[in-house]
A and B are shown apart, each in its own frame.
Chain A
Amino acid sequence: MSKLIPSAAKLFSGTSVITKAAAPAAVTSNAKYSTKSESTFEIKPFKLHKLDKGPAQSATLTAEDALKMYEKLAALRRIETASGNLYKEKIIRGFCHLYSGQEAVAVGMRAAMRDVDTVITAYRCHGWTHLMGVSLVGVLAELTGRRTGCSRGKGGSMHLYGKNFYGGNGIVGAQVPLGAGLAFAHKYRGDGGVSFALYGDGAANQGQLFEAYNMAKLWDLPCVFVCENNGYGMGTSVDRSSASSDYYTRGDYIPGIWVDGMDVIATREATRFAIDYCSSGKGPLVMEMETYRYSGHSMSDPGTSYRTRDEVQEVRQTRDPITSFKEKIVSAELVSPDQLKEIDTKVRKEVDEATKQAKSEPEVGVEELTGDIYYNNLEPYIRGIHPDAPLQHVNVVPRN
């Protein structure tokens, strides 16, 4: 157990500001390798709804875990920085919603997930797609609308897919019943898997969520409803949109957990608990991950009319999921600053290379406008704008 944990009084104070661990004197900045193989960290208390017992309040991290998680956090941040730049260069067109600030939610959850589990999320999905196994080029080339994109450039920013990853959905809230459907399939097949249906605090007020909650509970579906509360649904703050902003309690009859979504250790621990809970036949669970989005809602939103620049700066300085994790694992002597620097360099290089490739790849040919509309196309032709100029359906992806 690390001695670098802040005092319990600070940790349990219930404020939303994460207490930074003090830098230990023992760690020198030029230490090449870490000296400890594992360390235990306290977690800001979870809040529980209709649960007698929640996730563990402390968690052990191996040096290997820490490095892996740091690399993922760094990659997700870098993907979004690259995406923002590509958008400004007008190479990414259409929509583009950045995840910067929220990385600890996805990275912690993914670290706890098993191969059998499935995920569906909303349109802030670039990072999730990468975590679910799609390469950096697969993600970035999709954003630039190129052939090597994971949806061949036909989905764009909001419609990325991967193994056990069902999008990327552009209709606020629609992914939640779909996620309950994935959970239905897990139960139907008896494969032991759990479905994670993620949505924002904005979508949390959609009626279809409550329909999905109801059936998920009636049928004991292994579904974790994950509310990523980043404080704003577009420009409407949680206090202006939600009669109750305790999203973890809004499943009413479904137990819920509030999680510090800026702490990757907390999100991992909560997800471990959720998997254990849901895969043991107890039915669904709601998890509220309290987090923050640095960028505006989308690229057309500077994100400053409904909140102050100071507010964003304050979060960046005191609660940033990457900086705070870095401080924790360095202070605990689990990793050295040099190791993290190496990771930063590696990630930057990889994302830069992928970005370059995503710019230079060709787009799909115009014939794919009518590609893969149907798995089993039975239309003799696809109608175009002129009756005498019909288009041909193309089977781009091999059929079984």
Chain B
Amino acid sequence: MALKSSPVLYGLLARISRRSFSTSKALASKPVTVRDALNQAIDEEMERDDRVFVLGEEVAQYDGAYKVTRGLWKKYGDKRVIDTPITEIGFAGIAVGAAFAGLRPICEFMTFNFSMQAIDHIINSAAKTFYMSAGTVPVPIVFRGPNGAAAGVAAQHSQCFGAWYSHCPGLKVLMPYSSEDAKGLLKAAIREQDPVVFLEDEIMYGIPFPMSDEAQSPDFVLPIGKAKIERPGNHITVVCAGKATDTALQAANELAGKGIECEVINLRSLRPLDFNTIAQSIAKTHHLITVEQGWPQSGEHCY
């Protein structure tokens, strides 16, 4: 597993510098990378609740394969930041069992590609147990890690699990785009009583976004199931999530130069899906384009 790098990042950084943000206050605020925002979220929630722990491959002594958990092992020790062997179905099952017993595991997949080794525990053990037990066994767990295409890593490492997981009742599926999304949504996910699949983007980890003072606060939590209008417009609605939001915003910038104003909706949450925000936008624009990272078949066109 090599950490991927740079041409893409530089390109994104260059684009970000000319991007406008919807939170006006944020323009004056400190830039924070998505990686650091995720790290803050985990750190703050571990401080807040001693039932929260992280397990996964290389999350502790290596500081995280993608450094999302950097420093946490030093701070919280072996008990709460746990390196696992390379054994996805085993550690995902252990994490779900710990959640049955009332702990609040954050189960990191080095990338979501490897979650397929453990998908039985995500679907059959985590998502369905609350329902099958008629509400007696809640499963408060977060499965998180990078999802979707990275740069030049071939088909086994380039796929989006948004459609896979958001198909399944019982799961909540979140897909952050910016640093604010990453922090606010991950904190909400950790506090949830239901299992959450949290799909990050490797390519976004190193991207800095301005974060307001409010978003930097340990009390900052975003609501699950609410989309964010990243850019208002009257001509066409563009619905996207995660890194696809970046693609959509670039397109919106280009089209604005041609007199077409896009309304870019960052879903933030694939399940629940904020259909109201989408519907209200379409009522205004009468046009819809969806942008996603997954394969087209059975993807977002199935709204």
Task: Give the interface of A toward B (CB within 8 A).
Answer: 118, 120, 150-152, 154-155, 159, 161, 166-167, 169-171, 174, 176-186, 188-189, 195, 207-208, 211-212, 214-215, 218-219, 371-376, 378-380, 382, 395-397
- B135-164 CB mask vs A (1 if < 8 Å, else 0) is 111101000000000000000000000000
> Distance (Å) between the CB of A34 and the closest chain B CB?
40
CB pair B132 A185 closer than 8 Å: no
Interface SS majority for chain B = mixed
> Which of A169, A186, A372 gathers most chain B CB within 10 Å?
A372
> Distance (Å) between the CB of B121 and the closest chain A CB?
7
CB pair A155 B132 closer than 8 Å: yes
For residue B209, CB closer than 8 A to chain A, the reply is: no
Task: Give the interface of B toward A (CB within 8 A).
Answer: 53, 79, 82, 84-85, 87, 89-103, 120-121, 124-125, 129-138, 140, 169-170, 172, 192-194, 224-225, 271-272, 275-276
CB pair B130 A182 closer than 8 Å: no
CB pair B134 A397 closer than 8 Å: yes
| Residues in B neighbouring A155, C-beta threshold 8 A | 132-134
> Distance (Å) between the CB of B57 and the closest chain A CB?
12
CB pair A174 B98 closer than 8 Å: no
A185 with B98: in contact, given A177-B121, A208-B89, A373-B131 (CB under 8 Å)? yes
CB pair B94 A177 closer than 8 Å: yes
> Distance (Å) between the CB of B271 and the closest chain A CB?
8
Q: CA separation between A399 and B81, bound complex, in Å?
A: 30
A-B pairs with beta carbons under 8 Å apart, 16 shown: A159-B133, A166-B137, A167-B133, A177-B97, A181-B94, A181-B99, A182-B100, A185-B101, A188-B53, A188-B98, A208-B93, A211-B91, A212-B90, A215-B91, A372-B130, A374-B172
| Residues in A neighbouring B85, C-beta threshold 8 A | 211, 214-215, 218
Complex partner residue of B172 from A181, A186, A378, CB under 8 angstroms: A378
CB pair B101 A174 closer than 8 Å: no
Complex partner residue of A181 from B97, B134, B276, CB under 8 angstroms: B97
Q: CA separation between A378 and B222, bound complex, in Å?
A: 13
A174 with B124: in contact, given A181-B96, A211-B90, A212-B93 (CB under 8 Å)? yes
CB pair A382 B169 closer than 8 Å: yes
Closest residue on chain B to residue A161 by CB atoms? B133
| Residues in A neighbouring B276, C-beta threshold 8 A | 380
Q: CA separation between A166 and B102, bound complex, in Å?
A: 12
CB pair B125 A174 closer than 8 Å: yes
| Residues in A neighbouring B272, C-beta threshold 8 A | 378-380
A215 with B137: in contact, given A155-B132, A378-B225, A379-B225 (CB under 8 Å)? no
CB pair B101 A181 closer than 8 Å: yes
Q: CA separation between A16 and B252, bound complex, in Å?
A: 77
CB pair A182 B101 closer than 8 Å: yes
| Residues in A neighbouring B135, C-beta threshold 8 A | 371-372, 375, 395-397
> Distance (Å) between the CB of A400 and the closest chain B CB?
9
| Residues in B neighbouring A207, C-beta threshold 8 A | 89
